[in-house]
Amino acid sequence: MLFSSNIFLYIFLPLLLTFYFLSQYRYRNFILLIFSLIFYAFDSLRYVGLLGIVTLFNYYYAKHLLWKGQKKQKILLAVGIAFNLSILIYFKYTNFFISTCADLTKYFSGSLAWGSTIDVALPIGISFFTFHAISYLIDVYKKKVAPCSNLVDFSMYFMMFPHLIAGPIVRYSEIESSIKQRVINWDLFFSGIVRFCLGLGKKILLADQLASISGKIFSLSNQGELNTPLAWLGIICYTFQIYYDFSGYTDMGIGLAKMFGFSFPENFQQPYRSSNIGTFWRTWHMTLGRWFKDYLYIPLGGNRRSLARTCLNLLIVFFLCGLWHGASYTFIIWGLWYGVLLCIERVLKEKYGILIQGTTGIIASFFLVMMGWVFFSQPTLGAAFLYFDKLFSFDMTAQYYNLSFFLTCDKIVVLCLSIFFAFFNFDFFYSPAKEYTSLLCLKAASAIIVLIFSCAYMALYGFKPFIYFQF
């Protein structure tokens, strides 16, 4: 079920809000749990049992994790992490492993000795709930949180639909107090409604419009009908499309959580305004970046050792970050692209005292990020390299299509608005500080207008799936 679908907006959410606020407080976690299961089962009924198994395992395993003896605790933690990763690896990477071995065998021996891939579908949201489980076990092991003592409470946290499918990655420690006791007031509920409406507008009015351009241009690339101007238009549109698609989903998730009394961590802070790649990764998919930092980069040694070791740690982290996004060479190269860029920044800073900042840094960082999206958006490395060839070949021929075919007046407006909202400072719109009546009226009016236009567009043209649902 999608946050932007009619069944969610007009049936699921109104029913949930009605049951939730008419029920006694002690039943609200149970109601959220039941509706979250319905939400997940709507599109992935066959894997509800798997989600239940993972939930039950981590709940009971964490309760018995803190045995006496540091060595036993480490072994138990390793086993728990291995269990969660084994499920992710089986469903997401088995076929990638088989095809990779087949490619290597064919390359070195000239014959295909490996069998065919297996028929296994990817459970929705598996990458996200696996990371939720691992973070919970590690935090219990480090005694940052006590094991949850109530199965309903833990299951509600683990399966809560605002973050279940595509994040943000919410650690148990971040909402532990709200799970047990939370106060819902009008200010929080109003803030949640506004955040949800703005996220819906990002998705429907910006991301989906840009997707209609980038999708068509990428299909031209497959047909060999692409020229340089169209290639640049396609990747520029995709750059803003994926930002508004994912940040829009995050805004909707954070807004929904606020309606029910939870405060989720922020996941985006206008990353395209970053003046270097390090800042970009501190403002893009922030909960994932912090997850890798806290549970992988720092345990590897972080930047506490030599410069060479720091760079190696960065390459390992971003190799796995790319692999986490998808079982494909393109995602691995995309991750390593950032690992290399961050290593270069680290060397420039520590060896030569150079840190690129200001307008020059913003332009350079945006260009490098956009080049990374070429790998992310293309199905194969071959397709990605062909796209790069079109970007820099200065091929101006227009066999069948030109820019005016895609950049109609309405699409030009959408693209200009996308650029404006990505680079103009809108922190005041999300600020939790004391608000004046004029600002409240502005937020309310903006939310109503965006909601009306979004619903009207969906009624006329429908909606597209979220990009990050594939992860």
User: CB under 8 Å to 394, separation ≥6 — which residues?
Assistant: 228
Return phi, psi of residue 262, to 5°: -110, 150
Peptide linkage before 299 cis (omega within 30 of 0): no
The secondary structure of 429-442 as a DSSP string is: HH--S---HHHHHH
Rounded to an integer, what distance in angstroms lies between the CA atom of residue 65 and that of residue 214? 48
State both tokens at 145: 């949180």
Q: Encode 313-355 in three state secondary structure.
A: HHHHHHHHHHHHHCCCHHHHHHHHHHHHHHHHHHHHHHHHCCC
114 touches 39 (CB < 8 A)? no
Q: Is 393 helix (H, G, I), strand (E, B) or coil?
A: coil
192 touches 261 (CB < 8 A)? no
Residues with a catalytic annotation lie at 325
Pick left, alpha or beta for residue 125 (phi over 0 → left; psi -120 to 50 → alpha; otherwise beta). Answer: left
Handedness of CA 149, 150, 151, 153 (dihedral sign): negative
Residue 172 identity = Y
Return phi, psi of residue 432, to 5°: -85, 0
